Amino acid sequence: MISLRNVSKTYRTGAEEVSVLRGVSLEIADGEMVAIMGPSGSGKSTLMNLIGLLDRPTSGKLSLAGTEVSLAMSDRVLARLRAETIGFVFQSFQLLPRSSALANVLTPAQYHPRPGSKERAVQLLERLGLGKRLHHLPAELSGGEKQRVAIARALFNDPKLILADEPTGNLDSRSGSGVLDVLSELHNEGKTVVVITHDQAVADRCQRTIHLKDGELV
Ligand code: ADP
Ligand code: MG
């Protein structure tokens, strides 16, 4: 599903160059559930942004779902591959504050409305135990509920890969455990799940852990 060969990422701020990822090579197979762990600042989010096609490597090769991502690919092509392949879940939920749970789950359909979109969004929310929260605003939901809305949104396009960056970082342990139950269930259904975390309890729920330190795998 994911292959990185000697991938590096360097940020340039003014005259300074910061090397954030240094020669990272890794393979994640279809259907795996993998944790990426490392201390704060080790490059976890940078790695997620590269895997998630939100950013491009400075050097090295990356392929996703059988497509080699070349530097020559346009933003449009990348955005399309991203939308078809990946569902994102973030620590801070990233919900639209003025939109209902249902409208948030429908955001991936915003520019390509299709018949049945609304029914699909309702089904996803019901599946995540939010059938009675369809018209709530994010501010009217608990943290765990917000994250389940975000997961429903991530599932809208039926992605093969779920990329979650500290999905339990803003949740108490009980809600966090509920979110991990959902991610494990998706893994059991055959999705590839990559969870970025600095919490060992989260990593313990994954099949394999990749450790990152100072921009390198250890
Ligand atoms: P983590 O998610 O493991 O905490 P990040 O990938 O967010 O780490 O950041 C790793 C390092 O890269 C940090 O030192 C951070 O300051 C730096 N960094 C991240 N994004 C940028 C950016 N856009 N420009 C410059 N430096 C950045
Ligand atoms: Mg981070």
Full 3-state SS string of the chain? CEEEEEEEEEEEECCEEEEEEEEEEEEECCCCEEEEECCCCCCHHHHHHHHCCCCCCCEEEEEECCEEECCCCCHHHHHHHHHHHEEEEECCCCCCCCCCHHHHHCHHHCCCCCCCHHHHHHHHHHHCCCCCCCCCCHHHCCHHHHHHHHHHHHHCCCCCEEEEECCCCCCCHHHHHHHHHHHHHHHHCCCEEEEEECCHHHHCCCCEEEEEECCEEC
Residue 171 CB-density burial (10 A; 0-12 exposed, 13-18 middle, 19+ buried): buried
User: How long, in residues, is the chain?
Assistant: 218
* 72 band by pLDDT with thresholds 50, 70 and 90: confident
- Can you read off the two tokens belonging to residue 87? 């569902």
CA distances from 178 to 1, 6, 88 (A): 26, 36, 17
* 73 band by pLDDT with thresholds 50, 70 and 90: confident
Q: Residue 114: what pLDDT? A: 81
Q: Is the pLDDT of residue 97 over 90?
A: yes
Q: Residue 139: what pLDDT? A: 98
CA distance 47 to 64: 13
Distance 43 CA to ligand 1 centre (A): 6
Q: Which atom of ligand 1 is nearest to the CA of 42?
A: 3
Q: Which ligand is nearest to the CA of 91?
A: 2
As a whole number, mean pLDDT of residues 77-88 equals: 93
Q: Is the pLDDT of residue 53 over 80?
A: yes
* Predicted TM-score (pTM) above 0.85: yes
Q: Is the pLDDT of residue 71 over 80?
A: no
pLDDT digits (tens, 9 = 90+) for 112-126: 778 899 999 999 999
Q: Residue 170: what pLDDT? A: 95
Q: Residue 9: what pLDDT? A: 96
As a whole number, mean pLDDT of residues 63-71 equals: 89
Fold of 30-56+83-217: Rossmann fold (3.40.50)
Boundaries of every domain in the chain: 30-56+83-217
Distance 20 CA to ligand 2 centre (A): 12
Instruction: State whether the beta carbon of 110 lies less than 6 angstroms from ligand 1.
Output: no
* 8 band by pLDDT with thresholds 50, 70 and 90: very high
As a whole number, mean pLDDT of residues 31-56 equals: 95
pLDDT digits (tens, 9 = 90+) for 146-204: 999 999 999 999 999 999 999 999 999 999 999 999 999 999 999 999 999 988 999 99
Mean pLDDT for the chain?
95
CA distance 189 to 196: 20
Distance 57 CA to ligand 1 centre (A): 14
